[in-house]
């Protein structure tokens, strides 16, 4: 969902959206649209619900993108992620939904999302998605997230 000439959520009190479908990802102009570079958002405490049991699921997200004309505004992104707390979806669906919503909002030159999910039923599930290849001469940073090891 795009915001059409309404004020940004930044700088004012805004409740967490009831659902991710209601959440708005605000954008701001990229002051360096002529330069290729990476932006990283990390969300180490993401929560959503298991669609079968209703129990909470937890993930650590790393999102890297090379912006085009727009940047993603971070407060709206935080509210968007928070809107998943009362929704139920499988890890794969949730990860790709987040990635595709970002792409629709900011139309980056490249995006990579990594969802490191904590174990469900004893099995951690990690989900990765990207749009094409990163621009030439811009390196995607390492993810730097260790795979789940439990207590060991």
Looking only at the bridges linking them, the beta strands covering 39-49 and 56-66 are antiparallel
66 is catalytic: no
Give me the catalytic one of 57, 64, 66, 94.
57
* Cα 44 from Cα 25, distance rounded (Å): 19
> Mapping DSSP to helix (H, G, I), strand (E, B) and coil, where does residue 93 land?
helix
Give me the catalytic one of 4, 26, 36, 50.
50
* DSSP states along 65-117: EE-SSEEE-HHHHHHHHHGGGG-B--HHHHHHHHHHHHHHHH--SEEEEEEEE
Helices and strands in the chain: count of H runs, count of E runs: 2, 6
137 is catalytic: no
Just list the catalytic residues.
50, 57
């Amino acid at each position: 969902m795009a915001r059409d000439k309404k004020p940004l959520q930044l700088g004012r009190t805004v409740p967490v959206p009831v659902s991710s479908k209601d959440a708005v990802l605000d954008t701001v102009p990229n002051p360096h649209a002529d330069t290729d570079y990476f932006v990283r958002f990390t969300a180490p405490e993401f929560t959503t619900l298991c669609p079968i049991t209703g129990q909470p699921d937890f993930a650590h997200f790393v999102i890297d993108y090379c912006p085009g004309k727009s940047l993603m505004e971070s407060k709206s992104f935080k509210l968007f992620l928070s809107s998943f707390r009362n929704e139920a979806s499988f890890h794969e669906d949730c990860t790709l939904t987040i990635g595709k919503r970002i792409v629709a909002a900011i139309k980056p030159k490249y995006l990579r999302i990594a969802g490191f999910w904590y174990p469900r039923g004893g099995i951690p599930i990690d989900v990765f998605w990207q749009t094409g290849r990163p621009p030439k001469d811009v390196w995607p940073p390492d993810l730097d997230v260790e795979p789940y090891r439990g207590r060991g």
